[in-house]
């Protein structure tokens, strides 16, 4: 490593990979329970409904063709059928069916965007404050923000994470930038720099005033020093943990910084994004992530699947083999991430065991634009809070008992938040 003094941090990281050992958290204090993580992977435009089903429980669960890639993990997944978001029905197709997929809120048409805080951002604002990065919001497709013919903004189709009712979180589409954000600790370092100057000024003032005033300014000075110390301690602890882990002979896992720009091939793009989520979870730099594999009204193309049309066009013929291959491709990305996390030992289990991952689409059937039930798979037991290896159906139940918001509320509660309502739900999901 070159001397760091005059070289910008970006330059240092550029071209250099990040070699990491097992999570520093574990090596530092084995008695501390592993953190819980949450991630949602989204594929727009629905599935091939004929090939999306599961029967049975546990080791004998039977998975349909599109769900086959999850076979090795059947004991750790739940295939859930019949849930939906009521406010996303009956207002029009596409953006009006997507705008609050992770929040259950009512959305509005016209120039002013309005939805609700999504489940992942709710987590980012709470447990996310304990990690270097509150959450990751990623996508493999650029957003569109014009108007759909229903007069709903296309922003609803290309964003699934909302930090406030007025504002979707911009997605990061470039893997290299997602990687950088994860490791640069930007926010904290910027604050440290500001505090340093503030402390200097407070110190200067303190020397210039009367003794009684000095006591007041010293309160300020002391408080600044206190916060600076905390930041420094965090850095030192992390560094110490890295050193300890290095010395304890455990296998390392490396990831190079992705090249600048967008990958040519969608397969590489999705794989890189999944790797970054896995890395973030493993190093505990973040515990919350959302990833759009394909937007609603997606224009992704799949030449490597021998499909001629773009994703959205193909979804109009969603019972075709071509669309089944598209569905299965995206589901495989989910399986890839889940397996990667399952290969990372943590405590008595794996990172996957301490996580809850969701795979979700905004439609069931693309050709009928039917979203009265949504395709949904979960993976991971959230440290035992979620029973896995089940197929659960809510089809035929009252709308009250079929809310996606209830699922989100259950997850929020199981992740430690004290809440009794979320979105349009005032009770957690039964049987979950």
Partner 1 sequence: MFRDLLVVAFLSSCLHAQDSFVQTVKPLINSYCIGCHQGANAAAQFDLKQYESSGAIAKDHARWALLEERVAGMTMPPKGVKQPSDAERAALTNWVKTFLKQEAAKSAGDPGVVLTRRLSNAEYNNSIRDLTGVDLKPAKEFPVDPTNAAGFDNSGESLSMSPALLNKYLQAARKVSNHLALGMEGLLFAPHPMLAETDREKFTIQRIVEFYDRQPTDYAAYFEAAWRFKNRAALGKPSAALDDFAKEAKVSSKYLPMVWQLLEESNEPLGPVAKLQWMWRMLPGAQHNQMDAVKEGCVKMRDYVLKIRKLTAAQFRSPRVVGLSGTSQPLMNWKLRAYASHRMDFDRTALQVEGESPMVVPPMRPAFGVPTEDAVASRNAAIAARLRVGDSELFVPSGQRKAYEASFARFSAVFPDAFYIRERGRFYPDDSEDQGRLLSAGFHNVMGYFRDDTPLMELVLDEEQRKELDRLWMEFDTIADFTTRTYVQFFFNQSGEIEGRGRESGSFRPSDQEVTSERVIFGIRDAYLAKASAKDDELGREAIREHFARVNTMIRGVERARLESQPKHLESLLQLAARAYRRPLIESEKESLRTYYRSLREQSALTHEDAMRDMVTLVLMSPDFSYRLETAEPKQVTQIAAPKPSCRKPAAVATVPSTKLLSGAAMASRLSFLLWSSLPDAELSTLGANGDLLKPEALAGQVRRMLKDEKAKALSIEFAGNWLEFRRFEDHNSVDRTRFTEFTNELRQAMFEEPVRFIDDLIRNGKPMTEVLYGKHTFVNAVLARHYGMNEMIRIRGAEWVRVSNARFYGRGGLLPMAAFLTKNSPGLRTSPVKRGYWVAKTLLGESIPPPPPQVPELPNDESKMELPLREMLAKHRANASCAGCHARFDGFGLAFESYGPVGERRKMDLAGRIVDTRAEFPGGAQGSGIEDLLSYIKASREKDFTNNLVRKLLVYALGRGLQLSDEPLVESMKKSFAENDFKFSALLESIVMSLQFREQRNPAVETRLKENPKGD
**Residues found near partner 1 in the complex (CB under 8 A):** 6, 8-11, 109-113, 142-149, 151, 154-155, 164, 166-170, 174, 189-191, 193-195, 197-198, 201-202, 205, 208-213, 216-217, 219-220, 222-224, 226-227, 260-264, 297, 299, 301, 308-310, 312-313
Nearer to partner 1, 139 or 352 (CB): 139
Closest contact distance (angstroms) between CB of 164 and partner 1 is 8
**Do the strands 253-255 and 18-20 form a parallel or antiparallel pair, or are they unpaired?**
antiparallel
Closest to 270 measured CA to CA, from 425, 41, 67: 41
Please report, for residues 198, 224, 232, the alpha-carbon distance to residue 195 in angstroms, rounded to integers and kept in the order given. 5, 7, 12
Closest contact distance (angstroms) between CB of 341 and partner 1 is 28
Nearer to partner 1, 28 or 205 (CB): 205
With contact defined as beta carbons under 8 Å apart, do 162 and 121 qualify? Answer: yes
Strand segments, DSSP code E, in 311-389 are 345-346, 349-350, 355-360, 376-379
Nearer to partner 1, 24 or 183 (CB): 183
Closest contact distance (angstroms) between CB of 69 and partner 1 is 25
The token pair that represents 302 in the structure block:
């799949």
Please identify which residue in the block is written with the tokens 């030992």. Answer: 345
Nearer to partner 1, 3 or 210 (CB): 210
CA dihedral 427, 70, 325, 432 (to 10 degrees): -10
Nearer to partner 1, 190 or 250 (CB): 190
Nearer to partner 1, 149 or 348 (CB): 149
Determine how many CB atoms are found less than 10 A away from the CB of residue 420.
10
Closest contact distance (angstroms) between CB of 255 and partner 1 is 20
The token pair that represents 396 in the structure block:
């035929």
Closest contact distance (angstroms) between CB of 137 and partner 1 is 11
With contact defined as beta carbons under 8 Å apart, do 410 and 104 qualify? Answer: no
Closest to 374 measured CA to CA, from 104, 19, 175: 104
Nearer to partner 1, 298 or 388 (CB): 298
Can you tell me whether residue 199 is helix, strand or coil? helix
Closest contact distance (angstroms) between CB of 77 and partner 1 is 32
Alpha carbons 253 and 210: distance in angstroms, whole number: 58
Nearer to partner 1, 242 or 309 (CB): 309
Determine how many CB atoms are found less than 10 A away from the CB of residue 430.
11
Name the β-bridge partners of 23. Answer: none
Establish how many alpha carbons lie within 13 A of residue 95's alpha carbon, considering only the half-sphere containing its beta carbon: 24
Alpha carbons 168 and 151: distance in angstroms, whole number: 18
Nearer to partner 1, 209 or 252 (CB): 209
Closest contact distance (angstroms) between CB of 237 and partner 1 is 18
CA dihedral 406, 274, 374, 63 (to 10 degrees): -110
Please report, for residues 30, 139, 192, 207, 228, the alpha-carbon distance to residue 223 in angstroms, rounded to integers and kept in the order given. 32, 40, 13, 17, 9
Closest contact distance (angstroms) between CB of 367 and partner 1 is 16
Nearer to partner 1, 69 or 128 (CB): 128
Closest contact distance (angstroms) between CB of 8 and partner 1 is 4
Closest contact distance (angstroms) between CB of 204 and partner 1 is 8
């Amino acid at each position: 490593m070159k001397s760091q003094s005059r070289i910008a941090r970006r330059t240092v990281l550029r071209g250099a990979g990040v070699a990491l050992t097992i999570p520093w958290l574990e090596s530092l204090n084995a008695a501390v329970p592993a953190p819980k993580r949450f991630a949602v992977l989204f594929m727009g435009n629905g599935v091939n409904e004929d090939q999306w089903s599961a029967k049975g429980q546990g080791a004998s669960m039977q998975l349909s063709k599109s769900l086959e890639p999850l076979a090795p993990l059947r004991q750790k997944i739940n295939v859930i059928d019949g849930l939906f978001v009521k406010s996303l029905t009956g207002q029009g197709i596409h953006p009006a069916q997507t705008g609050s997929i992770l929040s259950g809120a009512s959305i509005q048409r016209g120039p002013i965007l309005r939805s609700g805080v999504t489940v992942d951002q709710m987590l980012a604002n709470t447990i996310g404050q304990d990690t270097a990065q509150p959450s990751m919001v990623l996508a493999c497709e650029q957003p569109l923000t014009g108007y759909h013919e229903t007069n709903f903004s296309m922003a609803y189709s290309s964003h699934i994470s909302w930090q406030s009712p007025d504002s979707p979180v911009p997605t990061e589409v470039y893997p290299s930038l997602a990687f950088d954000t994860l490791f640069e600790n930007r926010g904290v370092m910027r604050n440290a720099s500001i505090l340093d100057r503030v402390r200097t000024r407070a110190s200067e003032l303190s020397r210039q005033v009367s003794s009684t005033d000095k006591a007041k300014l010293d309160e300020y000075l002391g408080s600044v020093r206190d916060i600076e110390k905390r930041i420094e301690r965090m850095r030192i602890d992390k560094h110490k943990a890295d050193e300890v882990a290095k010395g304890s002979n455990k296998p390392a896992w490396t990831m190079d910084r992705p090249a600048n720009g967008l990958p040519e091939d969608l397969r590489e793009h999705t794989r890189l994004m999944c790797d970054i989520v896995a890395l973030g979870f493993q190093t505990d730099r973040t515990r919350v992530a959302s990833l759009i594999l394909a937007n609603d009204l997606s224009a992704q193309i799949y030449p490597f699947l021998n499909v001629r049309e773009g994703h959205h066009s193909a979804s109009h013929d969603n019972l075709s083999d071509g669309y089944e291959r598209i569905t299965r491709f995206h589901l495989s990305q989910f399986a890839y991430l889940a397996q990667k996390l399952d290969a990372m030992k943590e405590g008595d289990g794996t990172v996957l065991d301490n996580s809850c991952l969701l795979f979700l689409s905004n439609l069931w059937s693309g050709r009928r634009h039917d979203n009265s039930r949504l395709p949904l798979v979960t993976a991971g037991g959230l440290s035992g809070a979620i029973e896995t290896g089940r197929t659960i159906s809510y089809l035929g139940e009252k709308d009250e008992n079929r809310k996606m918001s209830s699922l989100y509320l259950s997850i929020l509660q199981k992740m430690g938040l004290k809440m009794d309502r979320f979105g349009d739900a005032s009770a957690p999901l039964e049987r979950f």
